[in-house]
Structures are given as C-alpha cells and as structure tokens.
Amino acid sequence: MSDAPDHTPYGPLPTGGTVRPMTRWGTPVMHRPQQLVTVFDETLHALAADMVATMYAADGVGLAGCQVGEDVAIFVFDCPDADGQRWAGVVCNPVLTLPEGKDRQLDETEEGCLSFPGAFVACARPDRATVTGVGLDGAPVTFTGDGLLARCLQHETDHTLGTVFGDRLPTKLRKKLDKEQAKTADEYPPEWPVDG
C-alpha cells in the first residue's frame, strides 16, 4: 500500500518523511484533546510527511499526530471505502458528522489501533461518516465514506480528541483486547515500526 493514489480531491499525500516510533496507549498525549493547527508551514508539512511514512511502515490505513508523539490535531489516511476505492488525505482540525435517526446503521467490524498493536476486537460504529477540516495549506477539506473508510475517519478524529477506541468498548471486550495485545507485545518493540 505504499503507492499513494496520485489523485485525491486535495492532492497527493506528502512524501519524503522519516519513520518514527509509534506512541502507545497510556502515553499522556494519547489521552487528551490535541492542539488545533493555526500555522500552516513547512514544519506542519514535515510532520505530515513523517506521519505518512510511519503509517505505511506500520501497514496502517490512518495515523494521527498524537501517534507520533505530537500534540497536534492532524491525521493522515490512505484507506479503501466499501467498494474498494482508495482515498487518501490530510485533515487538520477535523470535525466529524455521523448519520442520525433512520440513516444511522451500525457496523460491528473488528477494529485495531497502531498505538495498541496486534489486537483487534469488534467495535460498533456508524457505517458512514463525514469529516471536515482543513488541509496542509489551510484550505477547507471534506471526506465522506463508508466501510473501512468511515471507520478510519471516526477512529482518527477520535485520536485528535484524546479518545482511543478502547475507550468505546464495554469492559468485557476491553479485557479481550488487552489480552490479545499482551500476547503479541514481543512482536512490537518500543521503536516499532522504525526498521520494522
């Protein structure tokens, strides 16, 4: 999945970044709302490039700034929708909109998180989602999707708000997730996915 789509509504993902170690659940930056982006400069572009490189190195479909230890409300993604069409983008200061009433259908597909690697459990989320925000240049962006893309948009926006998907699980499923992660912990050393 290292070949990002050339044409997204808002241009290709930034390239040339450096893979960083994945910040894990339990680290304070993962559990607090992130600072809004107010300056759209080379530093922000470099962060996004590092996030893209780290996401691909970890075989992920999305990554938020807090997952590389940065207190910044930004995420990157390269993810298929329910029809298999790939979407990619960068969203700063995301705002999530979900279906309501009769339009709200839950998808209970398994979910995982690169910051709690190796563990997956079912997590009910609406099957469609829209995220609005701004891109790396400060211009408005909007992404709407279903399937895995809808889940990704919700998951990554949650990260910018200080929520990990484990927070959304009932106690029984959270315990199952913790056990799964403990079994695979040796496969994900502290520097993962650097040199992974």
User: Where do we find the tokens 């990990």?
Assistant: 164
Indicate which residues carry an active-site annotation: 156
Q: Which pLDDT does position 8 carry in this prediction? A: 56
3-state secondary structure of 44: helix
Kindly report each contact of residues 137-144 with a partner whose C-beta sits within 8 Å and lies 24 or more positions away, as own/partner. Answer: 137/40, 138/40, 139/10, 141/9, 141/10, 141/89, 141/90, 141/91, 143/9, 143/87, 143/89, 143/91
> Can you give the three-state secondary structure of 155-174, one letter per residue?
HHHHHHCCCCHHHHCCHHHH
Q: Does the pTM of the predicted model rise above 0.85?
A: yes
| Distances 7 to 88, 140, 148 between C-alpha atoms, Å | 9, 17, 20
Q: Which pLDDT does position 158 carry in this prediction? A: 98
pLDDT digit string (tens) for 3-33?
Answer: 544 445 666 899 999 999 999 999 999 999 9
The CA distance from 40 to 166, in Å, is 31
3-state secondary structure of 92: strand
Q: Which two tokens stand for residue 75?
A: 């995420």
H-helix or E-strand spanning residue 177:
helix 171-184
Q: Which domains does the chain have, with CATH numbers?
A: 28-187 (3.90.45.10)
Stronger pLDDT, 4 or 64, i.e. the higher one: 64
Q: Which pLDDT does position 6 carry in this prediction? A: 46
Q: Are 93 and 18 contacting, i.e. CB atoms less than 8 angstroms apart?
A: no
H-helix or E-strand spanning residue 51:
helix 42-57
pLDDT digit string (tens) for 69-107?
Answer: 999 999 999 999 999 999 999 999 999 999 888 888 999
pLDDT digit string (tens) for 141-192?
Answer: 999 999 999 999 999 999 999 999 999 999 999 999 999 999 999 999 999 9
- Which residue type sits at 15? T
